[in-house]
Amino acid sequence: MKDPAAFRREAVAAIRERAPTGALVAASGGIDSTVAGLLAQEALGARCHAVFVDTGLLREGEEARVRALFGAAGLAVTVAPAAERFLRALAGVTDPEEKRRRIGTEFVRLFEEEAARWSVPALVQGTIAPDWIESGGQHRDTIKTHHNVGGLPRDMRLAVVEPLRDLYKDEVRELARHLGVPDPDRQPFPGPGLAVRVHGEVTAAAVALCRRANRAVEEEVEAAVARGEIPRPWQYFAVLLPVRTVGVTGDNRIYGQAVSLRIVDSVDAMTATAATVPAELLRTIAERITRESPGQITRVLFDVTDKPPATIEWE
Ligand code: XMP
């Protein structure tokens, strides 16, 4: 990216040109959609409407985070409650690509409804370069279909505006700093949310387990970062695995599930390395996860695989 101020000027002009009558902004709380939203607001003012979809697949506190982020910039966010709708769309689906496609379709149908309500013909998304490269752009095989790229249905009735599509994460963060977005280095969170961290079928109960384990990982890692024990990793989260595994409480054998910890370092998410984490921190996280989900999670694993050959997410 040239200098952020020049990029900002050009992006604002381009949004005005592409969506002169107004646009919806798909706000997820992530850094990419926040930056895209702020550029859209600068370009369109009151003709810009931010919508946050509560998919039921989010981490704790996500809605409050989005309201705070956009509120600080004077952009009101409409919350679309859609947890039941997404769970229904995902019922019985275990294939990761099919999950992404269904989530993408559901997002678009919701945005179409919201766009009709606000009478705007366009959608501003925070798609960045790795999203479409890994979705099969530039003649590469599809690594996975990012829900906001290849996951879009062909009959979509909205013009899509993607002001950040040529940027990588470090450039978006630079732009975020320039725009005064708080905590621009916070970890990325995938658009399909916890659906791609619940391995196999997505149910309300599985999402709740994954969410609780995820909170433990985030809080414990962030506490260790604050104590200066480790540098902030690129991403740190929990994945709920579908295996049944034996555990013991008192005199009883129980069958619970396993969780894998994924803590990686990266620069642009195109490659990543499993972070070096003190064993004591891993043990603290494992103890907390099993304590907070007694009888349900009986084993915690640590994924030591780099990308490649693995990817950052499990699905
Ligand atoms: P992978 O798992 O492909 O992830 O190594 C690379 C980065 O992208 C995030 N990710 C996604 N983001 N929609 C998104 O918006 C998606 O479908 C998606 N899949 C993965 C992942 O968290 C990592 O930062």
CB-defined site of ligand 1, < 6 Å: 100, 131, 134, 143-144, 146-148, 188, 190-192, 235, 269, 307, 311-313
Q: Is 29 within 8 Å of 69 (Cβ atoms)?
A: yes
CA 288 from chain center: how many Å? 24
Element (H, E) at 258: strand 252-265
Q: What is the DSSP letter of 9?
A: H
Q: Which residues pair with 237 in a beta bridge?
A: 262
Residue 26 tokens, joined: 């798909």
pTM of the predicted structure, to 2 decimals = 0.91
Of ligand 1's atoms, which has the minimum distance to the CA of residue 315?
Answer: 2
How far apart are the C-alpha atoms of 158 and 118, rounded to whole Å?
Answer: 13
- Choose the residue to mutate in 146, 239, 315 for probing ligand 1, maximizing ligand atoms within 8 Å of C-beta: 146
Name the amino acid, one letter, at 67: R
Name the amino acid, one letter, at 175: L
How far apart are the C-alpha atoms of 311 and 237, rounded to whole Å?
Answer: 14
Give the pLDDT of the chain (315 residues) as one tens digit per residue: 779 999 999 999 999 999 999 999 999 988 999 999 999 999 999 999 999 999 999 999 899 888 888 888 778 899 999 999 999 999 999 999 999 999 999 999 999 999 999 999 999 999 999 888 877 776 557 767 776 655 677 788 899 999 999 999 999 999 999 999 988 989 999 989 999 999 999 999 999 999 999 999 999 999 999 999 999 999 999 999 999 999 998 889 999 999 999 999 999 899 999 999 999 999 999 999 999 999 999 999 999 999 999 999 999
Distance 123 CA to ligand 1 centre (A): 20
Distance 41 CA to ligand 1 centre (A): 26
Q: Is 133 helix (H, G, I), strand (E, B) or coil?
A: helix
How far apart are the C-alpha atoms of 236 and 238, rounded to whole Å?
Answer: 7
Q: Is the dihedral of CA 194, 196, 198, 201 positive or negative?
A: positive
How far apart are the C-alpha atoms of 68 and 312, rounded to whole Å?
Answer: 28
Q: Is 70 within 8 Å of 173 (Cβ atoms)?
A: no
Distance 189 CA to ligand 1 centre (A): 7
Of ligand 1's atoms, which has the minimum distance to the CA of residue 235?
Answer: 24
For residue 229, report the phi and psi dihedrals to the nearest 5 degrees: -80, -30
Of ligand 1's atoms, which has the minimum distance to the CA of residue 127?
Answer: 15
Starting at the edge strand found earlier in the chain, the sheet holding 77-81 runs: 77-81, 48-54, 23-26, 122-124, 159-161
Distance 46 CA to ligand 1 centre (A): 31
Of ligand 1's atoms, which has the minimum distance to the CA of residue 272?
Answer: 5
